[in-house]
Amino acid sequence: MRFPYGIADFRKIREGDYFYVDRTDRIPLIEEAGSQLLFLRPRRFGKSLWLSTLENYYDLARADDFDRLFGGLKIGQNPTPLRNRYFIFKLNFSVVDPWGDADAIAASLHRHINNAIEAFAARYREVLKTPIECHPTDGLSSLSRLLTAISTTPHKLYVLVDEYDNFANEVMISPLHGTHRYEELVQGEGTIKTFFKALKAGAEGRGIDRVFLTGVSPVVLSDITSGYNVAEDLSQRPRFHDLCGFTEAELRAALEATAAAHDLDAGPVDAALDLMRDFYNGYRFTSQREERVYNPTLALYFLKRLVEDGAFPERLLDDNLAMDRNWIQYVARLPHGETLVNATLNDAEPLAVAQLVNRFGVLDMLTAPRDPDFLATLLYYFGVLTLAGRDALGKQQLTIPNQVIRKLYVERLREQTLPRYEDQEQRQRVAERFYATGDLGPLCGLLEQTWFKVFDNRDLRWSNELVIKTAFLAVLFNDAFYVMDSEPALGRGYGDLLLRVRPDMRPYALLDHLLEFKTVTLKAVGLTSVELAAKSREELRALPVVAEKLRAAETQLAAYRGALERTGGEPLKLHTHAVVGIGLERLVW
């Protein structure tokens, strides 16, 4: 088993006999869907490989390779009449340098277009009847000359644009540069708008027959408005839900084949799938399909390490995905973004929108964030929220898809509330003590002394179990040791926070932990802040309202323990903890 981690070249995957999940049966559906298409997915979700698949299927220069590349695939059994009928012109906007001013970015874009046209001319020199002379500084002029050259042949052009919004996204999320650079590129006769106008014009009888764009969000197309208003968005269409990404059945088959090749028994296969489900699954891109898909880059990262090392990877977050933290930081910097980003960690009350916003530009990002639906939609497009169910009003709920993405939120919150090295050192020390012994004393002391001091009066409006649970979640989160489950379904109820030891870490001195949180107000205990600070934990524990809350939490924990024990599987080394927060000042257990 060879896993093509980091390989987006369809030809290389097929010729190298790498693991490949066949999606070629979607090619006829793509042809039916329209001639100018847009497909949006989060970063590192297999979009480039899909474009490479289309490139190899439609390229007239690769007709002799069709049987070798596609013969064993679904489309090879029943190809469409359009196979190997097009000139292919492929652009990748991720190579456009986004870090200069607007003129520098425009020049980089022109160079990229010219380089792609020169490669095109070399590739098809035996088919083209006239040479293509590139304008040295104007890629759009060169594109016009390319269209003139292909007009003398019987073939049409298929344009593939990968990461069409990449440099725009990089420009916008950079806190060190203004968005004016981007505005100059898309407004008036800006370079980006002019490029897409050229694509639109080229499809009006000038040789461009089909266009397929991939990206992360619709922001660029929204900004250029009439410059390119002909693309049909396939991103939320049910039939293309798993166009990129793996299903659970496909991953199980891959794991079973790996186990057979490496003499692993069924236990590691089940444990691996459980781990991948928690960390890599959970993405849903249409409300009309229940099945969720796995992030393919992360899944291939895991499988490749399993094959090469014979063990699960210690780091379940591939560093290539860590950059998605920038999206969360970006939204948090927008007006009201901080409140919404923190609220995403509340699994008991998922964010909900009446409808995903699908038309917005950079100006909206600066002025429209007063609308929570807009901010939540941004997080959805960036891949750090995904579709869940619907609430009682029929609004679409959005939730964190998996443990890998949850870690990105947690790390941002942890750095915000415990910014000093000394704070992080203490956090690690008390957390590890809790992992091994269940001792809550040092952990609660840290939260009282540091974490709760960060919250000001604005945070008191959500001073409830969510604040307490979020604090424990952020301080204790450690994906090297645990699968951390917020609001796990346990029997007829939902626990607050469950730390399950990772399957590969069970031989070590780590305990499983289940925590249940309750809160009471200062008014309920009849104490001022000064009086509260003066009392010992034993005195606070004896207060009637606190004792009642502790008993209620213990009753729930007993029921949850029974539900966990009935699920079967490997026995847990389970310790349960009832915790009561008094205001945002003291903790009792």
Within 10 angstroms of residue 196's Cβ, the number of other Cβ atoms is 23
pLDDT tens per residue across span 133-177? 999 999 999 999 999 999 999 999 999 999 998 877 777 677 556
Assigned domain for 381 exists:
no
Whether the pLDDT of residue 3 is over 50: the answer is yes
Distances (CA, A) of 25 to 16, 57, 63, 235: 21, 12, 19, 17
Q: What's the CA gap between 392 and 395, in Å, rounded? A: 7
- The dihedral sign for the CA sequence 31, 34, 36, 42: negative
Same domain, 262 and 304: yes
Same domain, 183 and 293: no
Task: Write out the residue range of the structural domain in which residue 562 sits.
Answer: 419-589
Q: Locate 384 and state its tokens.
A: 């750090």
In terms of DSSP H, where are the helices of 174-265? 180-186, 191-202, 219-224, 248-261
Domain at 193, CATH number: 3.40.50
Q: What's the CA gap between 160 and 92, in Å, rounded? A: 8
* Contact between residue 578 and residue 518 where contact means Cβ atoms under 8 Å apart: yes
Rg of the chain taking only CA atoms, in angstroms? 27
**pLDDT at position 322, please?**
64
Assigned domain for 412 exists:
no
Assigned domain for 340 exists:
no
Which residue's structure tokens are 């590139």? Answer: 134
Which of 164, 267, 274, 269 minimizes the C-alpha distance to 223?
Answer: 164
Total domains in the chain come to 3
Same domain, 281 and 143: no
Assigned domain for 168 exists:
yes
Last residue of a domain, one of 203, 219, 240: 240
Assigned domain for 358 exists:
no
Same domain, 211 and 285: no
Of the CA atoms within 13 Å of residue 315, those in its CB half-sphere come to 7
**pLDDT at position 367, please?**
64
Mean pLDDT over residues 199-204, rounded? 93
Assigned domain for 85 exists:
yes
Same domain, 207 and 270: no
Within 10 angstroms of residue 453's Cβ, the number of other Cβ atoms is 12
Whether the pLDDT of residue 441 is over 50: the answer is yes
Assigned domain for 277 exists:
yes
Same domain, 60 and 151: yes
**pLDDT at position 362, please?**
67
- The dihedral sign for the CA sequence 382, 322, 413, 489: positive
Whether the pLDDT of residue 457 is over 50: the answer is no
Assigned domain for 91 exists:
yes
The mean predicted confidence, pLDDT, of the chain is 90
Same domain, 117 and 264: no
Q: pTM value?
A: 0.91
DSSP H or E run through 54 = helix 47-58
**pLDDT at position 329, please?**
87
pLDDT tens per residue across span 18-43? 999 999 999 999 999 999 999 999 99
Q: What's the CA gap between 493 and 472, in Å, rounded? A: 20
**pLDDT at position 460, please?**
47
What does the H/E/C string look like for 230-243?
CCEECCCCHHHCCC
Same domain, 304 and 427: no
79-83, 464-468, 504-508: range with lowest mean pLDDT:
464-468
